Amino acid sequence: MSLSSPDLDLPACDFTVFGGTGDLALRKLLPGLYERERQRQLHPATRIIGVSRHALDDAGYRDLVTTALFDHVPEDHLEAGAVHRLINRLHHLALDAHDPEDWDLLHGLLKEEVSTSSTSGTGSTGPTRIFYLAVGSDLFGPICQRLDDLGLVDAESRVVLEKPIGADLASSRAVNDAVGQVFEERQVFRIDHYLGKESVQNLLVTRFANIFLEPIWDSRWVDHVQITVSETLGAAGRGDYYDRAGAMRDMVQNHLLQLLCLVAMEPPTYVGGDAHDAVRDEKLKVLRALKPLTGAAVDRDTVRGQYTTYGEEIGHPSTTETFVALRAEVQNWRWAGVPFYLRTGKRLARKESTIEVVFKEPPHAMFPHSEGVTTPNRLTVRMQPDEGMQLHVTAKHPGPGGIRLHPASLDLSYADAFDERSPDAYERLLLDVMRGIPTLFMRRDEVEAAWAWTEPVIEQWQRSAVEPVRYHPGTTGPAAAATLLAREGRTWLGEA
């Protein structure tokens, strides 16, 4: 896995962001690069080039980014020297994708000689060109082709693709084919920011660096798994995109399935070092082992919801789902018969992302005359709001006169346990792009395997023409989501 350190030998990069004035760039990408600048990890010759349709010169773009840094970087991390150094790296090009002259300007800027005695640290003659495509996936292919036509792509170049990659399996393959005409698979970094979260990476360390968990991490000991990603915000501000995607395409097909894979995957031979594909190989096996959800199984094992004010927020009636809950199974030796419950939604009661691994009850009640209550042991992985882990156990309540059982938790909060800030997910992933480490990025076969599993669910919803179940903002979602578990004697843990 990737860990940042002040002495990283990063190459010089020309980091070009298509969509350089968009929300993602200003809220996540540039603040992430700023943190690397603050740690003095960026090579002196690295440049950051924002590309958009806005008529901004370099000075105007630098003003825009400065404002964004003050809006999105914690106040105690703002250092005048670091801000100044980052701002001086910035350039902006107003580019119309259909205007050849605009592309000539980009060609001229990227072909400029960089005045430095050593630009890359890798023996190459120029900076590593990184192209971050924070635009719609329909533009991925045309942009890559244009870059190739201009001779801007070489063996060291890299391209970063933001989700969603296509809207279904066919369009995903078309996008990947178009990008693959220009970039080799090793040069393509498909980003899922959930994989860059500290708690997600710690899940692998917890599983595979601690011997006491792995022997009980299977169907003999695990009762079920719950994965929840809930949001309090609605779709306002990105309604055009969200109404085309919905919760299944926006969240389940990528984020939630990736989390499921990390919980269910077999131990890779190695994690880190040069074994970049070891983790991705194991995740792919999980995706291919998912029990298909088709036809009546979709009606039985999925719930679609929509919060009641959604149409009002986006300005028109819609049948797009803003909430999904579903029951999945991994059909392999380790997980046969263990249900994985996934749910995600907008306008819910809490903003949280958690994984709950719930273990089975003890096979024999050794304290039949005890007082108090017991709950199944479980491991909670918190990705937000407070990154960390909890191991829930049953303990004896202190005091004489008999045994009183009481649920207790062993709590690991990363903020309390380590005197060090947890880097933002994008900050970590951008660092890995510059280092050329693809472990935390999705491979093409992973993306397409995820689409192959989710597409029949979407098609069944469309065939049935049943509208999403309505739920009120600020609640835990549709009541039918609770029924999904209740019919098997289970309940959702926490409050979404």
Q: Is residue 40 within 8 Å of residue 6, measured between CB atoms? A: yes
* Best CA proximity match to 324, nearest among 496, 451, 191: 496
Give residue 184's identity as a one-letter amino acid code.
E
Q: What is the CA radius of gyration of the chain?
A: 24
Reply yes or no on whether 54 is catalytic: no
Query: What is the phi-psi region of residue 68: left when phi exceeds 0, alpha when psi lies from -120 to 50, beta otherwise?
Result: alpha
For residue 494 the two structure tokens come to 């926490």
Catalytic pick among 92, 224, 255, 392: 255
Rounded (10°) CA dihedral 128, 445, 22, 52? 60
| Buried residues in 9-41 as b, exposed as e (16+ CB within 10 A) | ebbbbbbbbbbbbbebbbebbbbbbbbbbbbeb
Distance of alpha carbon 471 from alpha carbon 477, whole angstroms: 6
* Best CA proximity match to 136, nearest among 110, 159, 167: 167
Q: Tell me how long the chain is.
A: 496
Give residue 313's identity as a one-letter amino acid code.
E
Query: β-strand 404-413 against 371-372: which pairing, if any?
Result: parallel
Distance of alpha carbon 199 from alpha carbon 431, whole angstroms: 18
- Return the active site residues: 255
